[in-house]
Amino acid sequence: MANLEGRTVLITGAGRGIGRAEALYCAAVGANVVVNDPGVQTDGSGGDSGIASTVVDEIRALGGRAVADTGSVTDWNDARLMVEHAVVEFGDLHAVVNNATIEVNKGLERLTEGEFDDVVAVKLKGTFAVSRWAAAFWRRRFDEGVRTDRAIVNTASGSGLLNPLPLQTNYAAANAGIAAMTTVHALELRRLGVRVNCVSPSMVRTRLTEQVPGMDRTLPPDRLDPKDPITVAPLVAYLLDEACPLTGQVLSVRGGSIAVNHGWTRGGQIDKDDELWTVPELAQSFTTLTVEDPFDRLATALGGALGVQGRDQLEALIDGELDKL
């Protein structure tokens, strides 16, 4: 089990779902937890300050240490203040878990500018904003001579990394951006003793996935439910532990399975020196390369959940039913 005793962890989007499970788990292994959540709906509307406080009460009832924060990760000043909140309450900030997200799923031709911007603002800009203010604080501490392990754990999703899910232009783009930021920030911040990794959960039961067919099926209480958000928490706690050597990694987690992702990798290539390609030459040369159909990629990622008939149904859905959404 991870040992986070004495380490202060700021977790965004920690009022429900995966973030709540991470907050409870980290507190149980000794962390001081800043539970950040403005209590918005799945599309980012509304707000409820009691959501974060409820999780804090749960942690304290179990003997843990926590404080609520209701700032929005989309607000530059709120991101700064939540970092300061952690320092004021607990004396330092050792780690950030960027978990906040919203979703608005629509076909490309129906998605509005505002709906695109809102999802990217929470998921991608929010991850950047909180990480930026944490890094600025750690830079000051480093310049003051403080040397200690610090960590950022970002949260992506199979959508944008492994599963080209229709209707998720905004969400997929933001997740891909988070994976890219993870590797860049891991290199940038190593000089300050900061490790940066990313977890990419899939098939986890949250408000965002409750409408997915089969997600409502549960197992008997004596068996671990692979769809329970708690399945993500041990991996996050491990990545926050100062004994963890990992940095720059994007890790998929699905139930009890954890996989290392390698991102975009170069495949086969065609070459021509000294002259421009002609279009007929390109047409001929591309027949020698192996290219991937995005539908095949999606069907493979969904795996056994589809079955033989499921693959046909998925294709019918993409070609027909999506036109209604």
Residues catalogued as catalytic: 171
Token pair for residue 103?
A: 């979703």
Q: Which residues, 6 or more positions from 301, have their beta carbon under 8 angstroms from its beta carbon?
A: 158, 162, 163
Q: Which phi and psi (to 5°) does residue 277 adopt?
A: -65, 145
Rounded CA-CA distance 109/98 in Å is 30
Q: 34 near 87, Cβ under 8 Å? A: no
The strand pairing partners of 182, in sequence order, are none
Give how far the C-alpha of residue 57 lies from the chain's centroid of Cα atoms, to the nearest Å: 25
Residue 323: exposure state from Cβ atoms within 10 A (0-12, 13-18, ≥19): exposed
Nearest to 267 by CA among 247, 289, 288: 289
Token pair for residue 23?
A: 């907050």
List, in sequence order, the alpha helices (H) in the chain: 17-28, 50-61, 76-90, 113-120, 126-143, 169-189, 233-240, 279-285, 294-302, 307-319
Rounded CA-CA distance 167/160 in Å is 11
Give how far the C-alpha of residue 181 lies from the chain's centroid of Cα atoms, to the nearest Å: 12
Token pair for residue 228?
A: 């329970």
